Amino acid sequence: MLCPLTQPNRALLITILEDYLSRGKVLCCQETQRKTLEGRLPHPSYTAILTDVVEYETVIGLEVHAQLLTRSKMFCPCSADYANAPPNTYVCPICLAMPGVLPTINEKAVEYTVMTALALNCTIAEYAKFDRKNYPYPDLLKGYQISQYDAPMGQHGWLTIDMDGTKKKLDITRVHLEEDTAKLTHCTTPEGETYSLVDANRAGVPLMEIVGEPDISSPEEARQYLVKLRTILQYLGVSTCNMEEGSFRCDANISIRPEGTTEYLGKVEVKNMNSFKAVYRALEYEAKRQRQELEKGGRIIQETRGWVEEKGMTVSQRSKEYAHDYRYFPEPDLPPLAFDKTWVEEIRSRLPELPDVRRDRFMSQYGLPTYDANLLVDSKAMANYFEDCIKLMADTSNGNNLHKKAKTVSNWLLGDFSRMLNTTNASIEETRVTPKHLVEMLGLIDKGTLSGPAAKTVFEDMFLNGKPASDIVAEKGLSQISDSSEIEKIAARIIADNSQAVSDFQDGKQQALAFLIGQVMKATKGRANPGIAKEILLDKLGGK
């Protein structure tokens, strides 16, 4: 039974319970009896049971910042591609916040933000404006950030995630545009004095903020939301979404509350998470910390906490600011934006096929299971690679054949291919195995030149050295042995050497046959045609 009482009541309840228990009586905690308990006068006829546990639910809302892939910065002509530039070289009087300069709006950044808002099912505002968000911090050279406050570009959107086969719709509050800050590097002299270096190359790079509603109820849902959002932005081509490089950043608001209630017990904002895994771990840690805090009888302080990866914990940074602390006011140097409906519709018509639509198409057109389709479309590059392979494959005109071949390509991409990408920490764009290479190898398997086990070896070699499969097969002598007489000789030897397995098979143990086939494969370094090996063994063992 749940006991949705607030903390002080619960503490009181436990005191009363202990008292009752000591006198050999058992208490009941029910909503209807709460009043009596609060009055410290438990009804003497209670005979039920108290559970000591208040069930809490987790409430998470995510704010994502994505740098936009424009050529120039948000309000000046400096290049936005600063990744490999020496510090403070991609700067001008505007992004250095010199007095008297005037910003101008980057039209492409506005277009990308509208594209994103449309892809996230938002309503596009007819009117939007920029505001100054005032706060003092050394990375903000102007002393304020040009952002958007009460008139953002997009509002009331949503995206869907797939939780174990069930679709969940998560609402998006708003999508707006702002500018990035400079980068600070904190250093210490050998004498132990601390100082900070400012690099303004990043200052003024267009930054899109996507604020989600607090609809997320677990760290895993948060991870799925981020994966989906990143996939959508990558499909749109508006951001690289590289979390490690900081072009895709996530802050999370998290609070817990007794299940079934609507009260918030103090919202905590978590920052400094630079991978999806870090977001997941930080949220798990924070939900647990808040539960423990309440169970100790403490309270949750509204604050900002930073995730410390090495320690696997969050630490308090500062008490949380409220919107009024920023003293927002309209940016006087920029005109408001009016969005023409025709222009918005023109952008909508240019949106590419988005991940959900592509997933559904992969399932209907190629007959792929949901699991495969979801994983393939999670990466635009992987989904493109998949379709490039299908186009290169001969004989896919009849439906069944197409479905079978599509599943084979999917199995390779999600299996050995993904495994090799993970072990070498590479992305599919960097791989030396072209779709043509993979299709050629699958053709060799189809023709019987290459056995399944030997193909794994060939693939690894292709992946590491970028050679075509046929060259590797020739070089390493990996072509499949389908010549019965050759396999017969080997099978005869295996039977002679494994009398135990032979008698097991004759006693009806089927797994003994699998063992013997395995031995033939081992003796031929995976090159024997497994089907022929099985036939020959059965024949020799009299089990046909």
* Contact residues: Zn ion, CB under 5 A: 76, 78, 92, 94-95
Compute the least distance from the CB of residue 203 to Zn ion, in Å.
8
* Residue 167 structure tokens: 């679709």
Q: How far is the CB of 239 from Zn ion (least distance, A)?
A: 20
Q: Which structure tokens are listed for 288?
A: 């647990």
**Helix (H) or strand (E) run with residue 116 in it:** helix 107-119
d(CA 305, CA 169): 28
In the complex, minimum distance from the CB of residue 76 to Zn ion, in angstroms, rounded to a whole number: 3
174: left (phi over 0), alpha (psi -120 to 50) or beta: beta
Of 87 and 453, the one with the shorter C-beta distance to Zn ion is 87
Residue closer to Zn ion, measured from CB, 73 or 129 = 73
**Minimum CB distance to Zn ion smaller for 205 or for 254:** 205
Q: How far is the CB of 85 from Zn ion (least distance, A)?
A: 12
For the chain, give percent helix, strand, coil, nearest 5: 45, 20, 40
Least distance between Zn ion and beta carbon 143 (Å):
17
CB of 107 to Zn ion, least distance (A): 16
Name the one residue in this structure whose structure tokens are 């699998």.
514
Q: How far is the CB of 141 from Zn ion (least distance, A)?
A: 11
Nearest to 477 by CA among 527, 442, 523: 527
Residue 199: CB minimum distance to Zn ion, A: 13
- Secondary structure class of 248 (helix, strand, coil): strand
24: number of CA atoms within 13 Å, CB side? 0
By beta-carbon proximity to Zn ion, the closer residue of 82 and 235 is 82
Identify which of residues 206 and 526 has a Cβ nearer to Zn ion in the complex: 206
CB of 147 to Zn ion, least distance (A): 18
Whether residue 327 contacts residue 345, with contact meaning beta carbons closer than 8 Å, is answered with no
Alpha carbon distance 266, 388 (integer Å): 51
Residue 70 or 231 having the CB closest to Zn ion = 70
Nearer to Zn ion, 94 or 125 (CB): 94
Of 242, 228, 212, the C-alpha closest to 66 is 242
User: Closest distance between Zn ion and the C-beta of residue 72, in Å?
Assistant: 8
Nearer to Zn ion, 141 or 375 (CB): 141
Helix (H, G, I), strand (E, B) or coil at 137: coil
Q: How far is the CB of 91 from Zn ion (least distance, A)?
A: 6
CB 65 within 8 A of CB 246: no
21 or 83: whose CB is closer to Zn ion?
Answer: 83
Question: Across-strand partners of 255?
Answer: 59
Name which of 95 and 513 has its Cβ closer to Zn ion.
95
Please give the Cα distance from 450 to 438 (Å, whole number): 13
Alpha carbon distances (Å) from 60 to 212, 246, 256? 9, 22, 9
Q: For residues 76 and 373, which CB has a smaller minimum distance to Zn ion in the complex?
A: 76
CA distances from 8 to 38, 46, 317, 329, 502 (A): 10, 21, 28, 42, 74
- Furthest C-alpha separation in the chain: 96
Decide: helix, strand or coil at residue 297: coil
Please report the sign of the dihedral spanned by the C-alpha atoms of residue 295, residue 297, residue 303, residue 305.
Answer: negative
On whether the CB atoms of residues 269 and 251 are closer than 8 A, the answer is yes
Q: How many CB atoms lie within 10 A of CB 277?
A: 12
Q: How far is the CB of 67 from Zn ion (least distance, A)?
A: 15
Decide if 286 contacts 274 (C-beta within 8 A).
no
Q: Which two tokens stand for residue 17?
A: 């319970």
* 39 within 8 A of 31, measured Cβ to Cβ: no
Residue 264, φ and ψ in degrees, nearest 5: -105, 135
Minimum CB–partner distance for residue 78 and Zn ion (Å): 3
Nearer to Zn ion, 76 or 473 (CB): 76
Asked whether 51 and 3 are in contact (CB, 8 A), the reply is: yes
Comparison of 78 and 533: residue with beta carbon closer to Zn ion: 78
